[in-house]
A = this chain, B = another copy of it.
Amino acid sequence: MGIDAAATAWLLASTAMVVFMTLGLGFFYGGLVRRKNVVATIALCFLSLAIVSIQWIIIGYTLSFAPNTLGGFVGDLRYALLNNVDGSPAPGTGIPHILYAAFQMAFAGITLAILTSAFAERVSLGGFMLLAVLWTTLVYDPVAHWVWGGGWLGSFVKTVTGATPVDFAGGTVVHIASGFSALALALVVGKRLGFGEHEFPPHNIPLTLIGAAILWFGWFGFNAGSALAANANAANALMVTHIAACAGALSWGLLSWAKTGRMGSLGIASGAVAGLVAITPAAGYVGPLAAIIIGAAAGAACYAALSYRLRVGLDESLDAWAVHGVGGLLGAILTGVFAEKAIGGVAGLIEGNPAQLAAQVLGALIVMAYAFTVTYLLGLLVDKTVGLRVTETEEYLGLDIVQHGEEAYSFGE
């Protein structure tokens, strides 16, 4: 296949949009924390993107997308330092190989950014930077390889269930991986000082909603870009992505209205994100009516997960687990239910193919277990060596002033 200029045009835009999302996530998270930690929270997203991108061109891309080595655990080193990654078409696509690497780079970046939820308002900057490199190399890159790079997972799951798991735009690779890694890290790092004793009200809701708007916008690049072409598949992905976001927003919103009498804007926004997360693996395989169900189910499930987390007193602070972990898991499973052969070539349970559902579940569980376990160990390792958490005094003063030397909003003038 030669270069498909239209696909290239769309992927250039998509890549920019996914980078924008990653930065936008900083505002989404930043509005949710206390005033003394907003700069630090945004900075984690900027740094996630920066660190992962450099790692990516050095080693991450090749580990993720080069042909199998180590029995399909990761890719070999042929693309290290982006060697052999140039303007010719990426294997099996019509876009330049370097663009494919860039598009995937943005995915790796946002995945790390999502999990910063786990240790918001208390993470040590040095510990985070070390963890970032380890995590993206030992968790993200292998998982991306298994699911998208031709690694062992696909054929293993196929052997067991009779079907190959599919993940259109990263429900498993991005959202399950980051969500369950966040859960592990929240356990390692422990609660914020005062969590459970007093409230932690979001300091700037409009800032969070700005982030939500950027996420929603960028997600079109994320999902419709994953078609790797400007075609009907991309168009379908865009439509279902939007519909799932809308259904998620309404479902979370209306449920919380029914339960509490109020419909928080954060519920609306989180519901939209939940819908976006859950449709991510499915976007190339399901139609708009399934998208309503998937989005609405995600809104409800993630709202329940968040409520559960609060009830058990778990301080996975900004809900990467409840929204991305649970939403991603749900999406992976529902993809196996609603996939339509006519849309993406894969039939799900409803079209009489229970094997696909089984494959989705098994694939998701393996990634979930791997991400949780390895991240837990990496978290411990970093914590015991350079330290993953600041001191009590530093936490009390706030990360902005201590680690960044900045106050978000000036005092006096």
B-contacting residues of A (Cβ < 8 Å)?
A: 3-10, 12-13, 15-17, 19-20, 23-24, 26-27, 30, 34-36, 38-40, 42-43, 46-47, 49-51, 53-54, 57, 81-82, 86-88, 95-96, 98-99, 101-102, 105, 125, 200-207, 209-210, 212-214, 216-217, 220-221, 224, 229-236, 238-239, 242-243, 245-247, 249-250, 253, 257, 260-266, 268-269, 272, 287-289, 292, 402-413
Contacts and interface: CB of A to CB of B under 8 A. Distances in A.
Which interface residue of A16, A17, A268, A292 has the most chain B CB atoms within 10 A?
A: A16
Contacts of A231: 3, 5, 8, 87, 96
Contacts of A200: 413
Given A288-B82, A413-B34, A216 B19 contact: yes
Contact of A253 (B34, B47, B203): B47
Contacts of A402: 262
Given A262-B404, A409-B203, A413-B201, A43 B268 contact: yes
A54 B8 contact: no
Nearest to A215: B23
A242 B98 contact: no
Nearest to A125: B263
Contact of A42 (B17, B265, B288): B265
Given A16-B221, A47-B268, 16 more contacts: A3-B232, A6-B8, A23-B213, A23-B217, A38-B206, A43-B265, A46-B212, A49-B246, A53-B246, A88-B232, A99-B239, A201-B407, A202-B406, A205-B406, A205-B408, A264-B406
Contact of A217 (B20, B205, B247): B20
A292 B53 CA distance: 10
A412 B202 CA distance: 11
Contacts of A35: 410, 413
Contacts of A34: 410, 413
* Copies of the protein in its oligomer: 3
B289 A98 contact: no
A27 to B, nearest CB: 6
Contacts of A232: 3, 86-88, 96, 98-99
B95 A235 contact: yes
Per CB-CB distance, the 5 closest pairs between chain A and chain B, nearest first, are: A87-B232, A262-B405, A5-B6, A9-B230, A99-B235
A16 B238 CA distance: 8
A235 B87 contact: yes
A266 B406 CA distance: 9
Contact of A8 (B210, B230, B253): B230
Contacts of A96: 231-232, 235-236
A228 B127 CA distance: 43
Of A125, A410, A411, which is in contact with the most chain B CB atoms at under 10 Å from its CB? Answer: A410
A38 B204 CA distance: 11
Given A19-B216, A263-B125, A264-B404, A203 B410 contact: yes
B98 A201 contact: no
B410 A47 contact: no
B242 A42 contact: no
Contacts of A26: 209, 213
A110 to B, nearest CB: 13
